[in-house]
Amino acid sequence: MLFSVFQLSRQGGRKANQDRMGYCYTRDSAVLMLADGLGGHPEGEVAAFLAIETVAVMFQKMAQPKLEDVADFLDDAMMAAHLRILNYAMDKGMHDSPRTTLVVAVIQSGQVRWVHCGDSRLYLVRRHHLLARTQDHSLVERSRGLQDTARAEINRNVLFTCLGSPVKPVYSMAEPLTLQQGDKLMLCSDGLWSSLPEQYIVSELSQKTVEHAVPDLVEQALLKAGHRSDNVTCLALGWQTPDDPTTIPDDFADTTGQTPAFSPKDKPAGTSTPLDLSF
C-alpha cells in the first residue's frame, strides 16, 4: 500500500476539545478512526479516547499483517469500544456514562470498508465527485421525507444512538468499495461538516493533496462558525497506488494519533510511533 495521510484537530470556541482521532497501519492493512465526545454528558473526551484506543489496540493485535475478516473486525471493534466506555463508568460509579460518536474505516486488499455510529462522517471522493458519505444517526437525518418546515423544528444535534449509552448502540456498516488512484477518504467531526457546504468539501479534497486540504477545510470551518465554533477535527487519506507487497516489510506496524502527512515507504522498517491520542 502507498498512501498519504494528514490529520488536524482544533478546539474552536469550546472550553475543551472532546474530539479524538488516530490511525494505524501494517504492510497490508490500515485503519482510520475518529470520535467526538458528546456534550451534555460527563467526560466526553474520555469516551472518545477510550473508543479510539480500543479500536487501535484491537487492530494491532489482529492485523498480522492483515485482518482475517474486515466486517467482523469492524463489528467487534464497535461493540468493544461501547462496552469499554460502560465499564469505565461502572468502575467510577458514575450515574451517567460518557458518550461518543465513532467512525472507523479499514483499507485492505485495495478496498475500503467502514462503520459509524452517530454524526461523525466519512466522505469518499473520486474525480471531483462524492462517491459515498455516511448518513448521520440523528433525528434530523432520520426525518428525511418530512416537509422542510417540520424538519426545521428538529435539532440537528440530537442523536438517536451513540457509544456509551445504556442501550445497545445502532451502527451502520458499508459494503466494501475498491479504491482507485487519486481517491480521497476523509473522516471528520460535525464541527467541520456542519459549517461547510458539501460541494465545497468535495472540491477541496479533489483539487488539493490531503496535507493542504485538511488544514484549509479546518480553517474555513472555524471561520464560518466564528466564536461559537464547535471542535473541528479532520483526518484524510489520499490513495496513491494499488497494493504493493514490497512497499513495507512484513513485520512493520505503526500507530499514531497526530502526525504530518507521510507515505509508509518513507518509514524505516521495524519502527513504530507510540499511540498518542491526547491533545
> Any idea what the CATH number is for the domain that residue 107 is in?
3.60.40.10
Please tell me the distance from the alpha carbon of residue 62 to that of residue 81, in angstroms, as a whole number: 16
Average pLDDT over residues 243-263: 47
What pTM, to 2 d.p., does this model score? 0.85
Range of the domain at 141: 2-266
Assigned domain for 228 exists: yes
Q: What is the pLDDT of residue 158?
A: 85
Assigned domain for 274 exists: no
pLDDT reading at 198 higher than 60: yes
Please tell me the distance from the alpha carbon of residue 210 to that of residue 163, in angstroms, as a whole number: 29
Q: What is the pLDDT of residue 210?
A: 98
**Sheet strand arrangement including 232-241:** 2-10, 232-241, 184-188, 121-126, 129-133
Three-class DSSP category at 24: strand
Assigned domain for 31 exists: yes
Please tell me the distance from the alpha carbon of residue 25 to that of residue 30, in angstroms, as a whole number: 4
Please tell me the distance from the alpha carbon of residue 80 to that of residue 146, in angstroms, as a whole number: 35
Q: What is the pLDDT of residue 265?
A: 35
Average pLDDT over residues 57-73: 98
Please tell me the distance from the alpha carbon of residue 272 to that of residue 269, in angstroms, as a whole number: 9
- pLDDT bin (cut points 50, 70, 90) of residue 254 is low
Please tell me the distance from the alpha carbon of residue 39 to that of residue 101, in angstroms, as a whole number: 11
Q: What is the pLDDT of residue 148?
A: 53
Rg (Cα) of the chain, in Å, rounded?
18
Which residues, listed in sequence order, are joined to residue 123 by a DSSP beta bridge? 133, 186
How many domains is the chain built from? 1
